[in-house]
Amino acid sequence: MRRAGFAIDFFTFSSVLKALGNSSALDEGKQTHALVFKTGYIMNLYVQNGLVSMYARCGKIEDAKKVFSSMDEHDLISWNSLLTGCAQHGYGREAIQLFERMRESGVKPNGTTFLAALTACSHVGLLEKGLEYFDLMKHDAFLPQDEHYACVVDLYGRAGFLHEAEAFINSMPIEQGPSVYKALLSACQVHGNKEIAVRAARKLIELCPNDPAIYVLLANVLATEGSWNDAASVRKLMCDKGVRKKPGNSWL
């Protein structure tokens, strides 16, 4: 584009940085960052947000934090980009601190913000804090979606509260999607609960009958619990339905 003589503006940089972040193209992202400096767009909010998002998506949280700290102002996209990156790349407690700072700054969170905060709580095992944020979300008049409910199920599941996780799913005011049952079934594999695993898998098979991970995970839970015949029956059902396991497939 530059060689062809096209002008580069803030919109171009924002679009390029988004694409580079989505593809985790860190080297090209750094080159673009240098070009941003050279062309004088480093103080543009949209470009700064693009840089924070690019580094965060590439897992370079410290670089994302440096750009964020250098900014004169932060909008919702700024906060969400860094929050989501921290939550997804092992900086859970920092994500929670960011969420609190964001609220103190007066920027109103949205569904993406709450999803990042809930994910962070799940990854660091802060069940009570996660439930507090979920209640706050409803208090702020946001309607939680399936992915938010799945995070809460994961929170309960990681803490070993499988019955509470199942009860939470059953109390959902919206139609339950696959993600909540996948979170519950995964927790059953970690903590070992054959009965709840079977119920979760039945729901999943109704929703996603051709997903091989459901059958494999249920069979693994049953085998771990010593129910070898039941595990074999699940694998036979999988074969009878013509469902094939995809290599490297995982929900985790």
Q: By the 8 A CB rule, do 48 and 63 touch? A: no
pLDDT beyond 90 at 124: yes
Q: What is the pLDDT of residue 3?
A: 54
Q: What is the pLDDT of residue 5?
A: 47
The third-level CATH classification (topology) of the domain covering 149-252 is 1.25.40
Q: What percent of the chain has pLDDT over 90?
A: 77
* Predicted confidence (pLDDT) per residue in 166-198, tens digit: 999 999 999 999 999 999 999 999 998 999 999
* 141 burial via Cβ count (<10 Å: 0-12, 13-18, 19+): exposed
What pTM, to 2 d.p., does this model score?
0.87
- List the domain boundaries for the chain: 149-252
